[in-house]
Amino acid sequence: MKLATLKDSTRDGRLVVVSRDLTRCSEVGHIARTLQAALDDWQHVAPRLALIAEGIETGAQPTIRFHEHEAASPLPRAYQWADGSAYVNHVELVRRARNAEMPASFWVDPLMYQGGSDSFLSPRDPIAMAEEAYGIDMEGEVAVVVSDVAMGSSPEVARSAICLVMLVNDVSLRGLVPEELAKGFGFFQSKPASAFSPVAVTPDELGEAWDGGKLHLPLLVTLNGKAFGKANAGVDMTFDFGQLIAHAAKTRNLVSGTIIGSGTVSNKLDGGPGKPVEHGGDGYSCIAEMRIIETIETGSPKTPFLRFGDQVRIEMKDHAGHSVFGAIEQTVRRWGELKSP
Amino acid sequence: MKLATLKDSTRDGRLVVVSRDLTRCSEVGHIARTLQAALDDWQHVAPRLALIAEGIETGAQPTIRFHEHEAASPLPRAYQWADGSAYVNHVELVRRARNAEMPASFWVDPLMYQGGSDSFLSPRDPIAMAEEAYGIDMEGEVAVVVSDVAMGSSPEVARSAICLVMLVNDVSLRGLVPEELAKGFGFFQSKPASAFSPVAVTPDELGEAWDGGKLHLPLLVTLNGKAFGKANAGVDMTFDFGQLIAHAAKTRNLVSGTIIGSGTVSNKLDGGPGKPVEHGGDGYSCIAEMRIIETIETGSPKTPFLRFGDQVRIEMKDHAGHSVFGAIEQTVRRWGELKSP
């Protein structure tokens, strides 16, 4: 089934079940008012929501039109957002650009940071920032929402806790990263609010594209309407979601509604760093990686980071060409030109 | 006023207003069912809760007994927990123990990490951990809960957003810290679930001890019943809570209910690193600092990190000797010996 949260006057919006083709939806306030409320009691609530989803497809369930731009992030605020870096290829490239060597342990021990989860952007919200000089970048990723996971759970157990899959734009401020990481406490100011896809879907909805721990579909990233990346999220993912969740749960319980991210999707090409889309490659899911390739090839980066007015779109299509999660589509704006985003 | 959350069958417990002397409380489900619900609409809810608090003190309000061990952390789960390191003295000492130099910028640019906020321990819950070898340590701190803070707010504006003050045991796994920080993404596995004081109090309740940005009272830390620390939280705090909140809000909005921590309370002595309580000093709020002093003085650490069975107590008393927030009192246990903590 597919779930979304419609914006309303509350902080958590209201939960709806969305039709497979993303055109219609049904309100389900009588079952669970919000997605977090559904996740708090997922075992009992999910089967009831699944019946609604079935009714939507057969026509038995009354529906209203679903518009992606009326959706908030499926969890407009969450109790936890932990983002891995499972495409180690990406990590290696980013480090190379900082002239920092990558330890060999990164291939066996997942990298993960604790992200801010208190106020996500809606999928069509602007990315409002005070300065272009912060080096605003998108990061196209896949993320999963888990039910309760006990401390010390194995990757196998962790995989069975995956309730929902969605896409995320993990906005990053590249200009603030080096100084912040040098302080040793990880990202904070360099990771502003993220935005998630309009729709979150249960794994069974993904068919053969979901293997239990990875999603085997290309992540379509466009910048100002031009294809920028189409890397396959199932390729070169060194750690699957089960491993990432187990990593997060090593020394603590994870509460239902925890979101775990894959890190920027990134594909190698013949063992090398991939090629831009315009040169026939699968491109990149963030500008930083493009700049690194340019630096490697020509000695300096050519593609600027995002500027006010630039538009990013992140989407994923099934084999029939239909959008699976709806699209994240965000324009970069100067903070203060708009009221609260 | 003083607020607490009583454990019940729900994930968020139920909000009560507690008497100044921590002996009685009133249920306020008709005003706000949970503390987060109160914080979601703080401007309207707080005055109504304050009337209840007044009624409790005058005897006009019906009350029941309040027992600290029935309390969860005031926010059993929160949308954000960001912990500063405002006692730069502590940071300098911890670094010295790791043979890592502290950059001079640490005196002007606050250090802060994003903590996990999805499932806090209750103030009397055991600290359950798989291995003593993780180097289990307490960190006694002060924390504030803020209402909504807009991106880019000044420290002055940030100070006015402080709704509640409480204590926290920011449990740390010292054995996991060096390897985790070396990976560059900050703490994750080395910061398991924290526990907060049974009661959160509004700043006005603190009288002259609260100066708008710092809390001027000694933080009493005992280990197995013996005084371990009594450092004054208002002394040597390089950044006040206004500065810490503004730091957190530089590139994003903070949602109401965000918790900001002070970092381990630590006092210098005559410009030096302080003295253990048993040598007439104010002692320390974590074992790591004690071990550093021992290393400086004798060449090696003597005090072990926490072992299974050890008990930590963190409390703060007003000038009349009354407990302000109630006590955090936790025993370290092996994970699995108890069911879910």
CB atoms A176 and B255 under 8 Å: no
**B85-142 pLDDT tens trace:** 999 988 888 777 667 788 888 999 999 999 999 999 999 999 999 999 999 999 999 9
Query: With 50 as the cut, is the pLDDT of residue B163 above it?
Result: yes
**B206-249 pLDDT tens trace:** 999 999 999 999 999 999 999 999 999 999 999 999 999 999 99
In our burial notation (b when 16+ CB lie closer than 10 A, e otherwise), range B262-301 reads bbbbbbbeeeebbbbbeeebbbbbbbbbbbbbeeeeeeeb
**φ and ψ at residue B287, rounded to 5 degrees:** -70, -35
CA separation for the pair B299, B305 (Å, rounded): 17
Mention every residue, 6+ apart, whose C-beta is less than 8 A from residue A105: B183
**B227: which strand partners?**
B222
For every residue of A88-124, DSSP letters joined together read: HHHHHHHHHHTT-PPPGGGGTS--EEEEP-S-PBPTT
- For residue A127, what is the nearest residue in chain B, using CA coordinates? B252
List B residues 54-83 in contact with A (Cβ-Cβ < 8 A): 77-80, 82
Q: Do A267 and A89 form a contact (C-beta atoms < 8 A)?
A: yes
**A241-278 pLDDT tens trace:** 999 999 999 999 999 999 999 999 999 887 777 889 99
**A47-72 pLDDT tens trace:** 999 999 999 999 999 999 999 999 99
CB atoms B79 and A189 under 8 Å: no
Tokens at A137, concatenated: 């970048």
Query: With 80 as the cut, is the pLDDT of residue A337 above it?
Result: no
With tokens 């291939």, the residue in question is: A107
A154 in contact with B at a CB cutoff of 8 Å? no
What is the structure's pLDDT at B93? 80
Mention every residue, 6+ apart, whose C-beta is less than 8 A from residue A63: A19, A24, A25, A26, A56
pLDDT-based confidence at B318, cuts 50/70/90?
very high
What is the structure's pLDDT at A104? 85
Q: Do A90 and A264 form a contact (C-beta atoms < 8 A)?
A: yes
CB atoms B340 and A187 under 8 Å: no
List A residues 170-209 in contact with B (Cβ-Cβ < 8 A): 173, 176, 181-190, 192-193
What is the structure's pLDDT at B341? 42
Q: How far is CA B299 from the centre of its chain?
A: 31
CA separation for the pair A13, A222 (Å, rounded): 28
- Best mutation target among A102, A118, A139 (most B Cβ atoms within 10 Å) is A118
Residues of B in contact with A193 (CB under 8 A): 252-253
Question: What value of ipTM does the predicted structure carry?
Answer: 0.96
B263 in contact with A at a CB cutoff of 8 Å? no
CA separation for the pair B39, B146 (Å, rounded): 8
Query: With 50 as the cut, is the pLDDT of residue B340 above it?
Result: no
- Under DSSP, is residue B119 helix (H, G, I), strand (E, B) or coil? coil
Q: Over chain A, what is the mean pLDDT?
A: 95
Please state whether the predicted TM-score (pTM) of the whole model is above 0.95. Answer: yes
What is the structure's pLDDT at B143? 98
CA separation for the pair A291, A224 (Å, rounded): 17
- Nearest Cα of chain B lies from the Cα of A55 at a distance, in angstroms, of 31
Of chain B, the percentage scoring pLDDT greater than 90 comes to 86
For every residue of A3-19, DSSP letters joined together read: EEEE--SSSS-EEEEE-
What is the structure's pLDDT at A338? 60
Tell me how far CA of residue B320 lies from CA of A38, A121, B68, B187, in angstroms: 47, 47, 20, 39
Residues of A in contact with B105 (CB under 8 A): 183
Element (H, E) at A160: helix A155-160
What is the structure's pLDDT at A273? 78
8-state DSSP, B75: S
A339 in contact with B at a CB cutoff of 8 Å? no
